[in-house]
Amino acid sequence: MTGTPSLAKSRPDLPFAITMSGICKRFGSVQANDAIDLNIASGDIHGIVGENGAGKSTLVSILYGFYTADSGQIKISGTPYTNNSPADSIAAGIGMVHQHFMLVPNFTVLENIILGHENDRNLTRSMEQARHMLMNLANQYGLDVNLDAEVGDLPVSLQQRVEILKALYRNAKILILDEPTGVLTPQETEQLFDILRSLKQQGVTILLITHKLREIMAVTDCVSVMRGGRMIAHLDTAKTTPEELAELMVGRPVQVQKQWHQTQTGAVVVKVENIHLSNADNQNLLSDISFTVHAGEIVGVAGVAGNGQSELLNILAGITAPSAGAITYHGHCITAEAPANAQTIKALGVAHVPEDRHASGIVLPFTAAENAALGYEDNVSHGYKNMFISPQQLNARCANLMQEFDVRPPHPDLKSSLFSGGNQQKLVLAREMSASPSVLLVGQPTRGVDIGAIEFIHQQLINMRDSGCAIILVSVELDEIMSLSDRIMVMNNGQIMGMVNRSDANVKDIGLLMAGVQ
Amino acid sequence: MRRPLPAWVDISIMPLINIAAAFVVAGIIIALIGENPLTALSIMVKGAFVYKGALGYTLYYTTNFIFTGLAVAVAFHAMLFNIGGEGQAMIGGLGIGFVVLSLDPILPPLLVVLLAIPVAAIFGALWGIIPGWLQARRGSHIVITTIMFNFIASSIMVWLLAGMLMAPGQMSPETRHFAEGVNLAQIHHIANALGWPMARSPLNLSFGIAIIALVAVWVLIWRTRLGYIIRATGHSEKAVIYAGHDPARIIIITMAISGGLAGLMALNEILGVQERVILNFTSGYGFTGIAVALMGRNHPFGILLASLLFGALYQGGAELDFEFQTITREMVLMIQGLIILFSGALALMFVPTAERIYGLFSAHETSASDPSKLGKDRQDG
């Protein structure tokens, strides 16, 4: 199975839609792509999986013309092809839907689609021409979207459709999708896959970059696995399993999903009552949030990104003050009238692994040792009023944490930005868990983290729970919520849509709650 | 192929290359006006270090640059661009004036001096706190406010020195002389008293205070909790809030320290040399401090070296002006300008070339034990 460079084509009459051979790309001392060979059959949905840093994005960026390969050859439908810019790729029939959409929010759908491709100097006329073409496209592929709606008003799933339409309007015969499901509910993901299948029927070749193995299994025909800048394997999706893919990605056997098990819960340690938050424009970001968390329990907060989970986490951690309501930790009440800062809340035994690791959780230019003390400066300082920081204590503390949490490489004086996402996150987790908190707030613990580290981080969270810690877990990865939580709280538009016991939960119902259907 | 430079090259070799480039361009210009650049260079070096009293003058200028350079550097660690060193130094001098003029008739000189030193820092700090507060609590940009506060300080000085504080029966805008002995002793006086003959120069005890300040700033930034939080604030305010600190408070404290250091510059000029408060005693040292901090990479040791360089340029440049008919004071300013240009604005100009050269020499030893490989995960989105 490994090392087979080509697969039986589903349509032997056509040449490969994309042939990449011997692609190499270096960034400084890092070989991001090392002699990559990739053949993609016309009309296939082809998945590329790999951990962060495996070289997927580099490869796709070379194909789309953001980077030029150091060596190697690309052929599109059998003809050799050199691309120097995304414009060349568009001309060659390659379209790309980026992870972060490239849309002008205050333009209408139509305006966004024709931007840069106006057929006529007269805007009205070119809009009418485009409208006509787009109606046809929408009918052909089942891509319904109101062409006159402002993009900023559309939900993300429709914005994604606009991106796909935009590519098709530019005559894309090959469509690259980079992590397309990160912002979607399970139902929306299914709808996207239906669209992809219908595009495939019409002969569009699709390249899907993702780290979600479930999606690879659900929608692709073939899958290529990358690891450490190399292409490790090409497989027929029908003939492989998620376990095999995960093992190929990591290079050793891994447990893809933790099996959830019931445990004994203790007394209520967190009580949240009627939390409200409104912004400067008096819009409600959070309304009437109330729930409790027991010792020895993980409450998972599920929801599509941007539905108030981040704000809730910040309020619980003392970073934002709520507009109204109260939070009680172990009987210590924090109200909107008497808010507490992060330091005070920490003193109540609450630790916080923030959602945005790079902005909040660590200071990137700091050394690992310095970051291991962020928010816990008391543990490494001495002298009058703990005024001085001792580098010995700083390093010793960090070295301990690194050993305990298997942070690699174990060098406390290395700059934090030089660690991989997984190791940065392990360091944050180590720092927060080392305070032996009774309440742990965790946001997106495995975002940008490789599979090997995910396994480790999940195990640490479960161990904390089993030792009696109350954990509030915010994650946009529903799989993560499902495999860790004892209870699942679903949020939509700043409100709690439902609280479901894990034993009664299923993905379909939670997906509906995430979409705001009660 | 380019390879990132190791830290020691970045700190030591690159600034030297930049300075060399500035000297080459300056040399071309000197050659164009018909003088020998090498002769000019040798006079400059002799003028800064060799002639009688030259070193004393160089170190006297260095003192000013250490204080103003440190002021800029401390603020910069919190990502605050304090352009207001000039004004803060003026107000520091004013503080010295207030203390000395009101107390020298009644208190012994030593006590007056010991009081004046902290007051110089406190006055400078107050002049830094106001823009700091405006930035932290009201969002007024520190660059704009500190520039405006330079003008305000300058106007206040004119108003007071031409009015209330002007020496009675005099026409020039300056205060009366301080009482006998109210000063920071000049080094050549001390040396001569100890029996070591030394040429006259304005170098005084504030040089020692500057050295103490260098060490203190190093301790503050790299060895204290406050310094740690100041640096964190500079890199990520969000992380500081997350850690439970108030970045607004840190900004105000940082600007107080920064302003205080700039205020101490007045010790050198007012207590060390003039022994009265005069107008414009700061003569641009506050602004040059920005270049000093930039060149010294905001590290006290780098600032010491950069201050020495600028001190030597000031003193050697004056000598150049003196020796050559064709080379005027403006010409010397141009050479200083070139150094600021090459080591400040164009500081990174030679880095890509240097990285390529470094890459050629170290290509064969890259593969196995390369710490930068650890960063590879960031290449991928």
Identify whether A463 is part of a domain: yes
Whose structure tokens read 């503050």? B220
Last residue of a domain, one of A137, A172, A207: A172
- Residues of chain A with pLDDT > 70, as a percent, come to 96
Average pLDDT, integer, range A461-490: 91
Give the pLDDT score at A257.
Answer: 62
Tokens of B18: 């930049």
- Give chain A positions within 8 Å (CB) of B225: 377, 381, 386-389
Closest CA to B88 of B63, B133, B125: B125
Q: Do A178 and A242 belong to one domain?
A: yes
User: pLDDT tier at B330 (50, 70, 90 boundaries)?
Assistant: confident
- Residues of chain B with pLDDT > 90, as a percent, come to 58
Whole-Å CA distances, B267 to A3, B22, B204, B210 = 75, 32, 9, 10
Cα B230 from Cα A366, distance rounded (Å): 12
Give the pLDDT score at A384.
Answer: 82
Give the pLDDT score at A101.
Answer: 83
Q: Which long-range contacts (CB under 8 A, 24 or more apart) does B322-331 make?
A: B322/B47, B323/B43, B323/B47, B324/B35, B324/B40, B324/B43, B326/B33, B326/B34, B326/B35, B327/B30, B327/B33, B327/B35, B327/B40, B331/B29, B331/B30, B331/B33
Indicate if the pLDDT at residue A27 is higher than 70: yes
User: pLDDT tier at B373 (50, 70, 90 boundaries)?
Assistant: very low
Indicate if the pLDDT at residue B366 is higher than 70: no
Whose structure tokens read 């490969």? A16
Which of A68-72, A351-355, A488-492, B355-359 has the least mean pLDDT? B355-359
Identify whether B241 is part of a domain: yes
- Give chain A positions within 8 Å (CB) of B224: 387-389
| Host domain of residue B296 | 57-329
Identify whether B357 is part of a domain: no
Q: Do A83 and A205 belong to one domain?
A: yes
User: pLDDT tier at B249 (50, 70, 90 boundaries)?
Assistant: very high
Residue B217 half-sphere exposure, CB side, CA atoms within 13 Å?
31
Give the pLDDT score at A292.
Answer: 94
**Given an 8 Å threshold on Cβ–Cβ distance, is B225 in contact with A374?**
no
| CA distance to partner chain A, nearest, from residue B212 (Å) | 18
CATH number of residue A315's parent domain: 3.40.50.300
Average pLDDT, integer, range A160-179: 89
**Given an 8 Å threshold on Cβ–Cβ distance, is A363 in contact with B235?**
yes
DSSP for A140-193 reads HHT----TTSBGGGS-HHHHHHHHHHHHHHTT-SEEEEESTTTT--HHHHHHHH
Taking residue B2's Cβ as centre, other Cβ atoms within 10 Å add up to 17
Identify whether B285 is part of a domain: yes
- The answer to whether A363 and A374 have CB atoms below 8 angstroms apart is yes
Q: Do A164 and A205 belong to one domain?
A: no
DSSP for A36-52 reads EEEEE-TT-EEEEEE-T
- Give chain B positions within 8 Å (CB) of A317: 242
Average pLDDT, integer, range B173-191: 89
> Residue B3's closest chain A neighbor by CA?
A28
- The answer to whether A315 and A286 have CB atoms below 8 angstroms apart is yes
Higher pLDDT, A516 or A44: A44
* B23-33 residue pLDDT tens: 899 999 989 98
User: pLDDT tier at A15 (50, 70, 90 boundaries)?
Assistant: confident
Cα B342 from Cα B345, distance rounded (Å): 6
Give the pLDDT score at A143.
Answer: 81
Give the pLDDT score at A14.
Answer: 63
Identify whether A189 is part of a domain: yes
Identify whether B358 is part of a domain: no
Task: Please report, as a single letter, which amino acid is at residue A82.
Answer: T
Closest CA to B281 of B161, B201, B188: B161
Average pLDDT, integer, range A373-389: 85
**A479 φ, ψ (degrees, to nearest 5):** -60, -40
Query: In sequence order, what are the residues at sequence separation of 6 or more whose Cβ sits closer than 8 angstroms to the Cβ of residue A338?
Result: none
Give the pLDDT score at A378.
Answer: 82
Cα B312 from Cα B290, distance rounded (Å): 17
* A200-219 residue pLDDT tens: 988 899 999 887 888 889 89
Q: Do A80 and A13 belong to one domain?
A: yes
Which of A166-175, A475-484, B367-376 has the least mean pLDDT? B367-376
Last residue of a domain, one of A130, A154, A172: A172
* B120-146 residue pLDDT tens: 999 999 999 999 999 999 999 999 999
Query: Please, what is the average pLDDT of chain B?
Result: 88
Instruction: Tell me the β-bridge partners of A23.
Output: A36
Closest CA to B40 of B30, B48, B49: B30
Indicate if the pLDDT at residue A515 is higher than 90: no
Interface test with B, best of A24, A27, A30, A345 (most B CBs within 10 A): A30
Give the pLDDT score at B359.
Answer: 76
A66 touches chain B (CB under 8 A): no
Q: Which long-range contacts (CB under 8 A, 24 or more apart) does B340-347 make?
A: B340/B288, B340/B291, B341/B22, B342/B18, B342/B19, B342/B21, B342/B22, B342/B25, B343/B15, B343/B18, B343/B19, B343/B22, B343/B291, B343/B294, B343/B295, B344/B290, B344/B291, B344/B294, B344/B295, B346/B18, B347/B14, B347/B18, B347/B294, B347/B295
Strands A439-443 and A470-474 come out as parallel
Average pLDDT, integer, range B59-80: 96
Identify whether B371 is part of a domain: no
Identify whether B10 is part of a domain: no
Higher pLDDT, A383 or A464: A464
Q: Do A345 and A448 belong to one domain?
A: yes
Whose structure tokens read 């019409």? A202
Give the pLDDT score at A255.
Answer: 67
With a CB-CB cutoff of 8 Å, which residues 229-288 of chain A face chain B?
229
Average pLDDT, integer, range A484-502: 92
| CA distance to partner chain B, nearest, from residue A88 (Å) | 22
Taking residue A452's Cβ as centre, other Cβ atoms within 10 Å add up to 17
Tell me how many domains chain B contains.
Answer: 1
Task: Please report, as a single letter, which amino acid is at residue B297.
Answer: R
Q: How many residues does chain B have?
A: 381
* B196-223 residue pLDDT tens: 888 889 999 999 999 999 999 999 999 9
Identify whether B356 is part of a domain: no
User: pLDDT tier at A284 (50, 70, 90 boundaries)?
Assistant: confident
Indicate if the pLDDT at residue A341 is higher than 80: yes
Give the pLDDT score at B376.
Answer: 38
Tell me how many domains chain A contains.
Answer: 3
- The answer to whether A366 and B269 have CB atoms below 8 angstroms apart is no
| CA distance to partner chain B, nearest, from residue A217 (Å) | 22
Tokens of A414: 């290395």
Average pLDDT, integer, range A432-438: 91
Q: Do A356 and A481 belong to one domain?
A: yes
Q: Do A12 and A84 belong to one domain?
A: yes
Give the pLDDT score at B377.
Answer: 38
Indicate if the pLDDT at residue B367 is higher than 60: no
Q: Do A66 and A124 belong to one domain?
A: no
Whose structure tokens read 């039986």? A8
Query: In sequence order, what are the residues at sequence separation of 6 or more whose Cβ sits closer than 8 angstroms to the Cβ of residue A375?
Result: A342, A343, A346, A431, B242, B243, B244
Q: How many residues does chain A have?
A: 518
Closest CA to A8 of A188, A238, A168, A199: A238
Q: Which of A122-131, A295-304, A440-449 has the highest mean pLDDT?
A: A295-304
- Residues of chain A with pLDDT > 90, as a percent, come to 34
Identify whether B277 is part of a domain: yes
Closest CA to A321 of A337, A301, A333: A337
- The answer to whether A291 and A499 have CB atoms below 8 angstroms apart is yes
Identify whether A497 is part of a domain: yes
Q: Do A143 and A220 belong to one domain?
A: no
| Host domain of residue A137 | 102-172
Whose structure tokens read 């300013």? B333
Whole-Å CA distances, B14 to A133, B25, B370 = 58, 17, 22
Strands A45-50 and A30-40 come out as unpaired
User: pLDDT tier at A290 (50, 70, 90 boundaries)?
Assistant: very high
Cα A476 from Cα A490, distance rounded (Å): 11
Tokens of B31: 């050659």
> Residue B219's closest chain A neighbor by CA?
A388
Give the pLDDT score at A417.
Answer: 84
Indicate if the pLDDT at residue A373 is higher than 80: yes
A364 touches chain B (CB under 8 A): yes
Cα B240 from Cα B235, distance rounded (Å): 9
Which of A293-307, A419-433, B335-349 has the least mean pLDDT? B335-349
Query: Please, what is the average pLDDT of chain A?
Result: 86
**Given an 8 Å threshold on Cβ–Cβ distance, is B239 in contact with A363?**
yes
* A-B Cβ pairs (cutoff 8 Å, strict): 127
Q: Do A52 and A155 belong to one domain?
A: no
Tokens of A399: 């070295």
Indicate if the pLDDT at residue A4 is higher than 60: no
Cα A449 from Cα A422, distance rounded (Å): 4
Q: Do A311 and A165 belong to one domain?
A: no
**Given an 8 Å threshold on Cβ–Cβ distance, is A356 in contact with B238?**
yes
- The vertex-A193 CA angle with A190 and A197, nearest 5°, equals 140
Whole-Å CA distances, A213 to A220, A256, A478 = 10, 9, 13
Tokens of B25: 């361009």
**Given an 8 Å threshold on Cβ–Cβ distance, is B242 in contact with A361?**
yes
A409 preceded by cis ω (within 30°)?
yes
Whose structure tokens read 């700090």? B125
B1, B375, B380 ranked by CB distance to A58: nearest: B380
Whole-Å CA distances, A188 to A329, A400, B20, B267, B348 = 37, 44, 62, 70, 48
Q: Do A244 and A281 belong to one domain?
A: no
Last residue of a domain, one of A255, A285, A311: A255
- Give chain B positions within 8 Å (CB) of A435: none
Indicate if the pLDDT at residue B363 is higher than 60: no
A409 touches chain B (CB under 8 A): yes
* B217-243 residue pLDDT tens: 999 999 999 999 999 999 999 999 999
Average pLDDT, integer, range A276-284: 86
Indicate if the pLDDT at residue B86 is higher than 90: yes
| CA distance to partner chain A, nearest, from residue B83 (Å) | 25
Q: Which residues of A43-74 are buried (b: 16+ CB within 10 A; e: fewer)?
A: bbbbbbbbbbbbbbbbbbbbbbbebebeebeb
Cα A477 from Cα A445, distance rounded (Å): 10
Tokens of B317: 């440049």
Give the pLDDT score at B348.
Answer: 78
**Strands annotated E in A330-413:** 332-335, 350-353, 381-382, 388-389
**Given an 8 Å threshold on Cβ–Cβ distance, is B225 in contact with A389?**
yes
